[in-house]
A and B are shown apart, each in its own frame.
Chain A
Amino acid sequence: MNAPALPIAPVVLPARMAKQIERAKETERILSILHQWGIHTLGQLAALSRDDLAARLGMRAVEMWERANGRGERILKLVSPPESFIESFEFENEIETVEPLLFILRRFLQQLATRLNAIYLVAKELRLRITFADKSHYERIFKIPQPTNNEDILFRMLHTHLENFTSKHPIVAIELEAQPSRSVRQQFGLFETALRDPVQLHETLARLIGLLGADRVGTPMLEETHRPDAFRMEPFAWEFRHPKPEIGHSERSVAKSRNPVALPLSFTTGSLGPSRTGIFARDDEERERGVCDSTGVRGCVPLRRFRKRKKATVLLENNRPAHVRAAEVRAGLAVEGTTMRQDGPFPLSGNWWDERAWARVEWDVEIENGVIARCHCDQDGWAIDGIYD
């Protein structure tokens, strides 16, 4: 028995590629015929009669004949290499202070701005790359809220950042790259508000970040966790109403601005939406109205949360808060006195898998002066979370 032949799957080539292969085969066929005729040089080919060649070998042979006679034209296309806006410098001596760095950076910015101006573009992003003596690198990208070529503005941005910059090793090289973009023109509507000077705001924020740290400046976002009042700071995002949103701000900004879960900016006291209470109720009606668990079901008693936490001293009796004392939590309001009723404990814990592990035990207490407060005990001791309205 003969073994069946292995099937070979047919390969479908793109039409353009198939055409080129056909053309190459045709050329090869013509060349072999010409060799059989004794035609081995371009001069011999050019000396043949065009019409006879066309009659015997077809149009492809005519194309070859025309090229041999210098009559064929092939128009060249100008392809310019993509322009990169990178300036770099390697120091002869290692740099340990910021001044020479700033001097070089200003020169870089001048050159970049000149080159960008020449082709009517502006910088929308700067990438700073610093190489240290131990071959390690530091890289930072500066998003420019309003693309510009203004050297002073760009320099201030770099300067602000480098003011607080420290490193373990001296600097041996520096590189600055600008991302070009078309300049932005925008016209706001009559009732729209816009930043008067986005660059100024950006610079101010950069200064704040330098002073406070990147994790303490931005938009507070609620975290999806059981940790009460947990939030993180996301960098500020702007959305300019341009016809083409890709010009003038980063994609990241657009993505952020679509996120609807931003925490309301109430940094003093305020409720974070529906509170999660297990607070006791005085009667059935109040119970109906007052209960609002973590699922956000009907009827809520809002919790007026204190930020930051108010330290408290709590006296326990039978492991239940019997007396609570906190400094004046709000003007004219003190949480102090014997507790009339307590609800709890509500032990909570999380993030046991990393260094952010937390654990706390919460209580709701009604104090003799009528205030109902939520307090908790964690590794830092007792504190008042807030009071129920």
Chain B
Amino acid sequence: MSYIELHANSAFSFLRGASFPEQLVQVAAELEMPALALLDRNGVYGSQRFSVAGREQKVRPIIGAELTMEDGRVLPVLVASRLGYANLCSLLTQAHLRSEVKGECAVKWEELPEFAQGLVALFGNSALDDLLGSARVSRVGESVPLSRSLKRSFRRDAETNTRDACATRSSEDRAQCLIDAFGRENVYIEIQRHFLRGEDRVNRVLVDLASKFRLALIATNGVQYAKPYGRQVLDVFTCIREHTHLDLAGKLLTQNAERHLKSDAEMRAIFRDLPDAITNTERLADRLQFSLENIGYEFPEYPVPDGHTMNSFLRTMVLFGAQQRYESITKKVKRQLEEELALITRLGFSGYFLIVWDIVNFCRENNIMVQGRGSAANSAVCFCLGITPVDPVTGASALSRKFTGVTANTARP
């Protein structure tokens, strides 16, 4: 079984990652890594580009995110299923909506059980107690400052008292909380080795936790750049994030350039005393079969009168609109409408067109200026529904061109 990197930040972790998803995938392909997980901070912004690049380079993309918790700790989660992706997006959306500062986000520990299904949590050094200094040892240059973490903790304590047990208790209690929320088989102890003084002690604590709670160990490298030279970009990003410059950044910068993608052989040499931590990465990756390709997005349904389906109702409304718009429905008009309706039905866009039609009607009734745009301007269906005022029959339709070869996930009029 070969090593798979299950914890990588891209440049979409704003100022915390130095490589684009495509660069990470390319290097993973060079290292013959069968899969790679992208866990950007507080978002899945890079997952689309990551997935496309993964398909091209034949590296299976695994989606996840690093969640900033309300006490400043960071919880990496991996998406195992479509439900997990939905839960992750819900968690992130709620946390971002709650935040008063743009770009900041704080997930509550008490929210996890509700949204844990379909997700796999990694319990690593950033989830340990601050007393161990783990955050500062292992995440040099990118962890939350202790003071800010404590402030948040105090504020949270004042607000929620003992309600939030995970945040206030020890590492063991926090591990137990994650097990309760995600299930034992969905919590992994994450170990990283960057050749830093003090990290062995943190890792010993993590190994002890794994043995006490019978959790599986996985090795990751906490990747922040594809190649070692990416460290320089990361240092500059750190300066930008901390509003300082290189000469004054001091210990905010990284100590070495070890947070790059490493090969199976390199990681096996680093974790030669914990071979299971390497083999578990592939076992876990096998479980994480979700990809954006099988996201299965469906447009919302539009309520139609009894006896109608969305397709039939759309056809009715289009033909009714055609009678209003055209003096006489010529063969050319009828052919154009039939072609477009067939395409819309095939792609399952009927509900979407009806929703847009409803929005346009609402705007008209309430004296709100409204106008269709883009390729919709060249659609006879849109013209008949009153979404656009342009008669496309006199010219060629761009709608069929737009929809050719696309799926319902990616195309909308």
Binds B, one of A180-188, A222-230, A252-260: A222-230
Nearest opposing residue in chain B for A364, CB measure: B197
- Residues facing B in A281-299 (CB within 8 A) are 287, 291-298
Least Cβ distance of B274 to chain A in Å? 17
Nearest opposing residue in chain B for A295, CB measure: B133
Give Cα A292 to B137, complex, Å: 11
The yes or no answer to B200 lying at the interface (CB within 8 A) is: yes
Which residues of chain B are within 8 angstroms of A295 by Cβ–Cβ distance? Answer: 133, 136-137, 198
Which residues of chain B are within 8 angstroms of A292 by Cβ–Cβ distance? Answer: 198
Least Cβ distance of A256 to chain B in Å? 18
Which residues of chain A are within 8 angstroms of B213 by Cβ–Cβ distance? Answer: none
Which residues of chain A are within 8 angstroms of B364 by Cβ–Cβ distance? Answer: none
Give Cα A354 to B246, complex, Å: 10
Give Cα A347 to B251, complex, Å: 15
Interface string of A206-230 (1 = CB under 8 A from B): 0000000000000000011110000
The yes or no answer to B232 lying at the interface (CB within 8 A) is: yes
Nearest opposing residue in chain A for B255, CB measure: A226
Which residues of chain B are within 8 angstroms of A293 by Cβ–Cβ distance? Answer: 133, 137, 196-199, 201
Nearest opposing residue in chain B for A345, CB measure: B195
Question: Given A295-B133, A297-B131, is A346 in contact with B195 using a C-beta cutoff of 8 Å?
Answer: yes
Interface string of B211-252 (1 = CB under 8 A from A): 000000000000000000000100100000000001100110
Interface size class of B (residues with CB under 8 A): 20 to 34
In contact, A350 and B253 (Cβ under 8 angstroms): yes
The yes or no answer to A165 lying at the interface (CB within 8 A) is: no
- Residues facing A in B50-89 (CB within 8 A) are none
In contact, B197 and A346 (Cβ under 8 angstroms): yes
The yes or no answer to B256 lying at the interface (CB within 8 A) is: yes
- Residues facing A in B248-277 (CB within 8 A) are 250-251, 253, 255-258
In contact, B250 and A223 (Cβ under 8 angstroms): yes
The yes or no answer to B304 lying at the interface (CB within 8 A) is: no
Least Cβ distance of B135 to chain A in Å? 9
Which residues of chain B are within 8 angstroms of A348 by Cβ–Cβ distance? Answer: 255-256
The yes or no answer to B132 lying at the interface (CB within 8 A) is: yes
- Residues facing A in B85-143 (CB within 8 A) are 131-133, 136-137
In contact, A353 and B196 (Cβ under 8 angstroms): no
The yes or no answer to A170 lying at the interface (CB within 8 A) is: no
Which residues of chain B are within 8 angstroms of A270 by Cβ–Cβ distance? Answer: none
In contact, B198 and A294 (Cβ under 8 angstroms): yes
In contact, B133 and A346 (Cβ under 8 angstroms): no
Which residues of chain B are within 8 angstroms of A296 by Cβ–Cβ distance? Answer: 133
Nearest opposing residue in chain B for A280, CB measure: B200
Which residues of chain A are within 8 angstroms of B246 by Cβ–Cβ distance? Answer: 353
Which residues of chain A are within 8 angstroms of B201 by Cβ–Cβ distance? Answer: 287, 291, 293
Which residues of chain A are within 8 angstroms of B137 by Cβ–Cβ distance? Answer: 293-295
Interface string of A330-354 (1 = CB under 8 A from B): 0000000000000011111110111
How many A residues face the partner with a CB closer than 8 A? 26
Question: Given A225-B251, A347-B256, is A353 in contact with B232 using a C-beta cutoff of 8 Å?
Answer: yes
Interface string of B154-197 (1 = CB under 8 A from A): 00000000000000000000000000000000000000000111
Which residues of chain B are within 8 angstroms of A353 by Cβ–Cβ distance? Answer: 232, 235, 246
Question: Given A224-B250, A353-B232, is A294 in contact with B197 using a C-beta cutoff of 8 Å?
Answer: yes
**A346 in complex: contacting residue of B132, B196, B253, B257, CB < 8 Å:** B196
In contact, B251 and A297 (Cβ under 8 angstroms): no
Nearest opposing residue in chain A for B250, CB measure: A224
Least Cβ distance of B50 to chain A in Å? 28
In contact, A349 and B200 (Cβ under 8 angstroms): no
Give Cα A350 to B252, complex, Å: 12
In contact, B131 and A226 (Cβ under 8 angstroms): no
The yes or no answer to A277 lying at the interface (CB within 8 A) is: yes
Which residue among A293, A296, A297 has the maximum number of chain B CB atoms within 10 Å of its CB?
A293
**B232 in complex: contacting residue of A278, A291, A352, CB < 8 Å:** A352
**B198 in complex: contacting residue of A278, A287, A345, CB < 8 Å:** A278
Give Cα A352 to B239, complex, Å: 14
In contact, A278 and B197 (Cβ under 8 angstroms): yes
**B195 in complex: contacting residue of A223, A291, A294, A347, CB < 8 Å:** A347
Least Cβ distance of B97 to chain A in Å? 35
In contact, A276 and B195 (Cβ under 8 angstroms): no
Q: Report 21 cross-chain contacts, Cβ distance below 8 Å, ordered by A residue.
A: A224-B250, A224-B251, A226-B253, A278-B196, A278-B197, A287-B204, A291-B201, A293-B196, A293-B201, A294-B133, A294-B137, A294-B197, A294-B251, A295-B136, A296-B133, A297-B133, A347-B256, A347-B258, A348-B256, A349-B257, A350-B253
Top 5 A-B residue pairs of the complex, sorted by shortest distance between their CB atoms: A293-B198, A295-B133, A224-B250, A278-B197, A347-B256
**Inter-chain pairs besides A297-B131, A354-B247, 13 sampled, C-beta below 8 Å:** A278-B196, A278-B197, A292-B198, A293-B198, A294-B197, A295-B136, A297-B133, A345-B195, A346-B196, A349-B256, A352-B232, A353-B235, A353-B246
